Amino acid sequence: HLLGLNPYFSGELLGRIPFFDLLLIGYLLPGLGYAGLAWYARDKRPLPYVMALAVSGAVLAFAWASLTVRRAWQGENIADWKDFLQGETYTYSVVWLLLGVLLLVLGSRFHAKSIRIASAVLVFVAVLKVFQIDMSNLEGFLRALSFIGLGGVLIGIGLFYQKILSGVGAASTAPTNPTEQQ
Protein backbone atom coordinates (compact mmCIF):
# COMPACT_ATOMS: atom_id res chain seq x y z
CA HIS A 1 0.00 0.00 0.00
CA LEU A 2 2.87 2.37 0.59
CA LEU A 3 4.39 2.06 -2.88
CA GLY A 4 2.56 0.05 -5.51
CA LEU A 5 -1.04 0.76 -4.52
CA ASN A 6 -0.49 4.23 -3.08
CA PRO A 7 -2.91 6.62 -4.83
CA TYR A 8 -0.19 9.28 -4.77
CA PHE A 9 1.87 7.15 -7.17
CA SER A 10 -0.90 5.27 -8.99
CA GLY A 11 -3.16 8.28 -9.62
CA GLU A 12 -6.24 6.30 -8.56
CA LEU A 13 -9.17 8.44 -7.50
CA LEU A 14 -9.98 8.29 -3.79
CA GLY A 15 -13.75 8.69 -3.92
CA ARG A 16 -16.12 11.61 -3.58
CA ILE A 17 -16.72 11.54 0.18
CA PRO A 18 -13.64 13.01 1.89
CA PHE A 19 -13.28 10.89 5.06
CA PHE A 20 -14.97 7.70 3.84
CA ASP A 21 -12.62 7.01 0.96
CA LEU A 22 -9.80 4.67 -0.05
CA LEU A 23 -7.47 6.27 2.48
CA LEU A 24 -9.73 5.16 5.33
CA ILE A 25 -9.84 1.51 4.32
CA GLY A 26 -6.30 1.35 2.97
CA TYR A 27 -4.38 3.19 5.69
CA LEU A 28 -6.28 4.33 8.79
CA LEU A 29 -8.27 1.19 9.61
CA PRO A 30 -5.30 -1.19 9.09
CA GLY A 31 -3.08 1.21 11.05
CA LEU A 32 -5.52 1.24 13.96
CA GLY A 33 -5.79 -2.55 13.69
CA TYR A 34 -2.02 -2.97 13.90
CA ALA A 35 -1.84 -0.58 16.85
CA GLY A 36 -4.65 -2.37 18.68
CA LEU A 37 -3.10 -5.75 18.05
CA ALA A 38 0.28 -4.48 19.29
CA TRP A 39 -1.39 -3.18 22.46
CA TYR A 40 -3.16 -6.50 23.00
CA ALA A 41 -0.06 -8.62 22.27
CA ARG A 42 2.45 -6.62 24.37
CA ASP A 43 2.44 -9.10 27.27
CA LYS A 44 1.59 -12.19 25.26
CA ARG A 45 3.99 -12.22 22.28
CA PRO A 46 7.74 -11.67 21.76
CA LEU A 47 8.94 -8.06 21.78
CA PRO A 48 10.11 -7.98 18.11
CA TYR A 49 6.64 -9.11 17.00
CA VAL A 50 4.94 -6.40 19.07
CA MET A 51 7.39 -3.76 17.85
CA ALA A 52 6.81 -4.74 14.22
CA LEU A 53 3.06 -4.39 14.71
CA ALA A 54 3.43 -1.03 16.43
CA VAL A 55 5.79 0.37 13.79
CA SER A 56 3.52 -0.87 10.99
CA GLY A 57 0.54 0.81 12.62
CA ALA A 58 2.46 4.05 13.10
CA VAL A 59 3.68 4.09 9.49
CA LEU A 60 0.17 3.49 8.16
CA ALA A 61 -1.31 6.18 10.42
CA PHE A 62 1.39 8.63 9.31
CA ALA A 63 0.72 7.78 5.65
CA TRP A 64 -3.02 8.28 6.21
CA ALA A 65 -2.50 11.68 7.83
CA SER A 66 -0.11 12.85 5.11
CA LEU A 67 -2.29 11.62 2.25
CA THR A 68 -5.36 13.14 3.90
CA VAL A 69 -3.61 16.51 3.91
CA ARG A 70 -2.88 16.02 0.21
CA ARG A 71 -6.53 15.16 -0.40
CA ALA A 72 -7.70 18.26 1.48
CA TRP A 73 -5.68 20.48 -0.84
CA GLN A 74 -5.83 18.55 -4.14
CA GLY A 75 -9.25 16.86 -4.10
CA GLU A 76 -9.90 13.20 -4.85
CA ASN A 77 -6.98 12.96 -7.29
CA ILE A 78 -3.75 13.24 -5.29
CA ALA A 79 -1.37 12.08 -8.02
CA ASP A 80 2.29 13.01 -7.73
CA TRP A 81 2.31 15.00 -10.96
CA LYS A 82 0.41 17.78 -9.22
CA ASP A 83 2.61 20.43 -7.62
CA PHE A 84 2.51 21.10 -3.89
CA LEU A 85 0.70 24.26 -2.92
CA GLN A 86 2.22 26.57 -0.30
CA GLY A 87 -0.68 26.05 2.09
CA GLU A 88 -0.37 22.30 1.61
CA THR A 89 3.34 22.38 2.43
CA TYR A 90 2.60 24.34 5.61
CA THR A 91 -0.25 21.99 6.57
CA TYR A 92 2.07 18.96 6.48
CA SER A 93 4.28 20.62 9.10
CA VAL A 94 1.29 21.41 11.31
CA VAL A 95 -0.19 17.93 11.06
CA TRP A 96 3.13 16.18 11.71
CA LEU A 97 3.82 18.36 14.75
CA LEU A 98 0.31 17.76 16.08
CA LEU A 99 0.78 14.00 15.63
CA GLY A 100 4.10 14.22 17.45
CA VAL A 101 2.53 16.10 20.36
CA LEU A 102 -0.39 13.64 20.44
CA LEU A 103 2.05 10.72 20.61
CA LEU A 104 3.96 12.48 23.40
CA VAL A 105 0.78 12.90 25.41
CA LEU A 106 -0.27 9.28 24.80
CA GLY A 107 3.21 8.02 25.67
CA SER A 108 3.14 9.95 28.93
CA ARG A 109 -0.41 8.88 29.72
CA PHE A 110 0.32 5.18 29.20
CA HIS A 111 3.92 5.36 30.47
CA ALA A 112 5.12 3.98 27.13
CA LYS A 113 8.68 4.93 26.30
CA SER A 114 8.29 3.54 22.77
CA ILE A 115 5.43 5.94 22.00
CA ARG A 116 7.45 8.86 23.34
CA ILE A 117 10.38 7.80 21.13
CA ALA A 118 8.04 7.66 18.13
CA SER A 119 6.91 11.16 19.08
CA ALA A 120 10.49 12.38 19.13
CA VAL A 121 11.17 10.84 15.72
CA LEU A 122 8.07 12.45 14.22
CA VAL A 123 8.87 15.86 15.70
CA PHE A 124 12.44 15.52 14.40
CA VAL A 125 11.12 14.74 10.91
CA ALA A 126 8.86 17.80 11.12
CA VAL A 127 11.78 19.97 12.22
CA LEU A 128 13.88 18.72 9.31
CA LYS A 129 11.00 19.39 6.93
CA VAL A 130 10.55 22.94 8.22
CA PHE A 131 14.23 23.75 7.80
CA GLN A 132 14.79 21.91 4.51
CA ILE A 133 11.53 22.31 2.61
CA ASP A 134 9.52 25.10 4.20
CA MET A 135 12.52 27.44 4.24
CA SER A 136 12.91 27.17 0.47
CA ASN A 137 9.29 26.71 -0.67
CA LEU A 138 7.24 28.97 1.58
CA GLU A 139 7.18 32.72 1.26
CA GLY A 140 6.24 35.60 3.50
CA PHE A 141 3.61 34.99 6.13
CA LEU A 142 3.51 31.18 5.82
CA ARG A 143 7.30 30.91 6.22
CA ALA A 144 7.22 33.08 9.34
CA LEU A 145 4.20 31.20 10.70
CA SER A 146 5.95 27.87 10.07
CA PHE A 147 9.00 28.88 12.10
CA ILE A 148 6.98 30.56 14.86
CA GLY A 149 4.72 27.51 15.16
CA LEU A 150 7.69 25.16 15.24
CA GLY A 151 9.36 27.25 17.93
CA GLY A 152 6.18 27.32 20.01
CA VAL A 153 5.74 23.56 19.78
CA LEU A 154 9.39 22.89 20.68
CA ILE A 155 9.16 25.23 23.68
CA GLY A 156 5.94 23.48 24.75
CA ILE A 157 7.59 20.05 24.44
CA GLY A 158 10.57 21.30 26.44
CA LEU A 159 8.29 22.59 29.20
CA PHE A 160 6.35 19.33 29.15
CA TYR A 161 9.52 17.28 29.64
CA GLN A 162 10.76 19.72 32.26
CA LYS A 163 7.54 19.18 34.19
CA ILE A 164 7.84 15.39 33.82
CA LEU A 165 11.50 15.35 34.86
CA SER A 166 10.96 17.69 37.80
CA GLY A 167 7.99 15.57 38.88
CA VAL A 168 10.13 12.41 38.69
CA GLY A 169 12.94 14.06 40.65
CA ALA A 170 10.53 15.34 43.30
CA ALA A 171 8.89 11.93 43.59
CA SER A 172 12.23 10.16 44.04
CA THR A 173 13.41 12.59 46.76
CA ALA A 174 10.12 12.58 48.66
CA PRO A 175 10.29 10.78 52.00
CA THR A 176 8.85 7.30 51.90
CA ASN A 177 8.61 6.83 55.63
CA PRO A 178 5.65 8.66 57.25
CA THR A 179 7.76 9.56 60.31
CA GLU A 180 10.23 11.42 58.06
CA GLN A 181 7.50 13.81 56.93
CA GLN A 182 7.23 15.45 60.36
**CA pair distance 60, 66, nearest whole angstrom:** 10
Tell me: pLDDT of 2 over 80.
Answer: yes
Total-model pTM = 0.82
Q: Is the pLDDT of residue 106 over 90?
A: no
Nearest of 3, 9, 2, 133 to residue 80 by alpha carbon: 9
Average pLDDT, the chain: 87
Q: Measured between alpha carbons, how far is 28 from 11 in angstroms, rounded to an integer?
A: 19
